[in-house]
Amino acid sequence: MVAASPVRAQTVQDKISALATSIAAQQEKLNQEELQLEQQALELHQQQELLDAEMAGLRGAGTSGTKKAKGSSNVAAYKSTPADTSTPEPQYAQAQPQTAGAEQQQVQEENRDQRTKVILQSSTTLSNTGGVLTPKGQLLIDPSIEYDYWTQNQLNLNGFTIIPGITFGNIFISRVDQRFLTEAVTARYGVTDNLEINLKIPVVESFGSLTSQQAGTNAVPLSVSQSNANIGDIQFGSSYQFNSGENGWPVFVGNFLFKTATGQDPYDVPIYNADNTNPDNQTNQLLWGVPKKLPTGTGFYSLQPSVTVFYATAPGVLFGNVQFIQNFARTFNIPNRGGGATREQLQPGKAVEATFGIGFALNDKASMTFSYEEEHVFSSSAGGQQIPGSNYDFGTFNFGMGYAISSRTNVNIGVGIGVGPYAPAAKILLEIPTRFNVM
């Protein structure tokens, strides 16, 4: 019995040594798994940074935020799969809900930004003043066609009144109808994510009629048709976005537009006068001063700086624009009614214009906008002298609809109803903007 005691002691010692060896092996395995988890966490962090960079590039290329939501959910699913279910990872599991919440918030912001773009890109009232900028390296080609209808009834009195209701002289009643069809191509290029340059080349076709007659039962109406087709006033400019709209701020975009005088101006079209009609014919005299053609341009150069602001708020987007128009004086040979021409310097009045409206996204492709536009034109001058009664106001109610037929192409339709005698009675605008990646 005494000899067996050392054997049992040796057996216990061997078991203790084997257990210590096993514990050391398990500890080494745990250390290796911890290193693997740390390596995987580092790789996932690097993949997240690459994904963020890639999505930033996709957003610049016009990709919707829903695609990012799909990619983000894949990353979250990959993060939630542990390397070994028997190994606890409290820090990694704790970080997962925070990351998922941040990604969900980012997806919501992306969806909001995409919805804002869809709405503003369908606003035809912001087409010429600036809205959402073209991303860096993209070229947007926007063919458009616009129809404007003007009508006006005039009563001209050439005589004198003794008492109210009794007038001696000639009374002329006239109706003016003018229709303008403008086909244009607008090109916009994103120099940076905040800077865009643009160019618009229009071609104007005009059709008009003038019906005039003296008051009386025996008066014979006189009708004249007018038409013309020529290039319009070319425009070019730039837009710059000042801020990103974070922290609840609205987005501000500054716009600068220069309008040329490439179109046929109102003083360059021929008129009926004593040189080209029979001056002894009283009917011909009714035509004196009436243009034979309609102009396709204003005849004046102008600078048009403006500021556009929009604010995304559920369920729509509020937007507005304030614009100042500075026209420059020019000297023209103005045709006379009796024949010949008079050389005169004309200075159109300055103008201020304000537009405000709201847009709604019906879904991820369709949207609609409502807006009102008001413009005040200050007095003009001729030969340095102010022209009395040359200042005026007019407004336009606008309604627009837009639909994204693909990821690159939209179809926008805008309808405007004039307010006041100096505004077009109605106008319709159709745009089909398409984006191309050139870089």
pLDDT at 315: 73
Whether 291 contacts 354, CB under 8 Å: no
Reported as a single tens digit per residue, the pLDDT across 323-364 is 999 999 999 888 887 777 889 899 999 999 999 988 888 877
Does the pLDDT value for residue 102 go beyond 80? no
Q: Please provide the distance, in angstroms rounded to a whole number, between the alpha carbons at the two ends of the chain.
A: 93
Same domain for 356 and 428, yes or no, is yes
pLDDT score, position 66:
39
pLDDT at residue 163 is higher than 80: no
Query: How many other β-carbons are positioned within 10 Å of the β-carbon of residue 181?
Result: 14
Band of pLDDT at residue 5, cut at 50, 70 and 90: low
On whether both 47 and 167 belong to a single domain, the answer is no
Which two three-digit tokens encode residue 297? 């341009």
pLDDT at residue 119 in the model: 66
What CATH number did the domain enclosing 380 receive? 2.40.160.40
Q: Are residues 97 and 151 in the same domain?
A: no
Calpha distance 301→381 (Å, rounded): 16
Q: How far is CA 407 from CA 44, 139, 364, 435, in A?
A: 30, 14, 11, 9
Q: What's this model's pTM, rounded to 2 decimal places?
A: 0.69
Range of the domain at 204: 136-437
Band of residue 165 on the pLDDT scale cut at 50, 70, 90: very low
Enter the tokens of residue 158: 């050439």
Residue pLDDT, tens place only, 60-93: 444 333 334 333 333 333 333 333 444 444 444 4
Q: Give 375's pLDDT tier (boundaries 50, 70, 90).
A: very high
Specify the 3-state DSSP secondary structure of 93: helix
119 occurs within a structural domain: no
Instruction: Tell me 271's DSSP state.
Output: B
Segment holding 43, helix H or strand E: helix 5-60
Of 82, 114, 146, the residue that ends a domain is 114
Alpha carbon distance 65, 115 (integer Å): 9
Q: Could you read off the pLDDT of 276-306 as tens digits, one per residue?
A: 776 666 666 667 778 888 889 999 999 999 9
Assess whether 142 and 73 both reside in one domain: no
pLDDT value for 36:
83
415 within 8 A of 401, measured Cβ to Cβ:
no
Same domain, 348 and 219: yes
CA distance readout (Å), 75 to 46, 52, 103: 12, 11, 10
Let me know: does 349 contact 390? Beta carbons within 8 Å. Answer: yes
418 vs 374: CA distance, rounded Å? 10
Mean pLDDT of the chain: 77
**222 falls within a domain:** yes
Flag whether 27 is in a domain: yes
pLDDT at 413 over 70: yes
Confidence of residue 152 (pLDDT cuts 50, 70, 90): confident
Same domain, 143 and 200: yes
Residue type, 285: Q
Instruction: Give me the pLDDT at residue 9, please.
Output: 60
Q: Single out the residue of 302, 290, 305, 268 nearest to residue 380, CA to CA.
A: 302
Asked if the structure places residue 121 within a domain, the reply is no
Tell me: do 141 and 106 sit in the same domain.
no
399 pLDDT exceeds 80?
yes
CB 236 within 8 A of CB 258: yes
Q: Which residues, at least 6 apart from 152, have a Cβ–Cβ distance to it below 8 Å? A: 175, 176, 421
Q: Are residues 411 and 301 in the same domain?
A: yes
Element (H, E) at 414: strand 410-419
In a domain, residue 127? The reply is no
Please report, as a single letter, which amino acid is at residue 50: L
- Altogether, the residues listed in the chain come to a count of 439
Q: At what angle do helices 65-79 and 90-121 cross, to 10 degrees?
A: 170
The reply to whether 77 and 204 lie within a common domain is: no
Banded pLDDT at 38 (limits 50, 70, 90): confident
248 vs 332: which has the higher pLDDT:
332
Residue 290: its pLDDT value, please?
80
Q: How many domains does the chain have?
A: 2
Confidence category of residue 39, pLDDT binned at 50, 70, 90:
confident
3-state secondary structure of 276: coil
CA nearest neighbour of 353 among 330, 375, 380, 378 = 375
**pLDDT for 169:** 46
C-alpha to C-alpha distances, 29 to 26, 32, 43, 173, 383, nearest whole angstrom: 5, 5, 21, 103, 96
Q: How many whole angstroms separate alpha carbon 16 and alpha carbon 22?
A: 10
The DSSP-derived string for 58-80 is HHHTT--HHHHHHHHHHHHHHHT
Kindly tell me if the per-residue pLDDT of 126 is higher than 80: no
Same domain, 162 and 192: yes
What pLDDT is attached to residue 259?
96
Predicted confidence (pLDDT) per residue in 311-320, tens digit: 887 777 888 9
CA distances from 311 to 11, 193, 246, 247 (A): 81, 19, 11, 12
- Label residue 156 by pLDDT band (50, 70, 90): low
Q: Are 239 and 300 part of one and the same domain?
A: yes
Q: Is the peptide bond before 315 cis (omega within 30 degrees of 0)?
A: yes
**Do both 227 and 370 map to the same domain?**
yes
Assess if residue 236 is contained within a domain. yes
Asked whether residue 143 carries a pLDDT value surpassing 70, the answer given is yes
Distance CA 268, CA 5 (A): 128
3-state secondary structure of 350: coil
* pLDDT at site 124: 66
Alpha-carbon distance of 190 to 196, in angstroms, equals: 4
User: Does the structure show a pLDDT above 70 at 211?
Assistant: yes
Q: How confident is the model at residue 220 (pLDDT cuts 50, 70, 90)?
A: low
The answer on pLDDT for 16 being more than 90 is: no
- Cα 332 to Cα 275, 288, 346: the distances in Å are 19, 19, 8
Query: Mean pLDDT across the stretch 172-195?
Result: 87
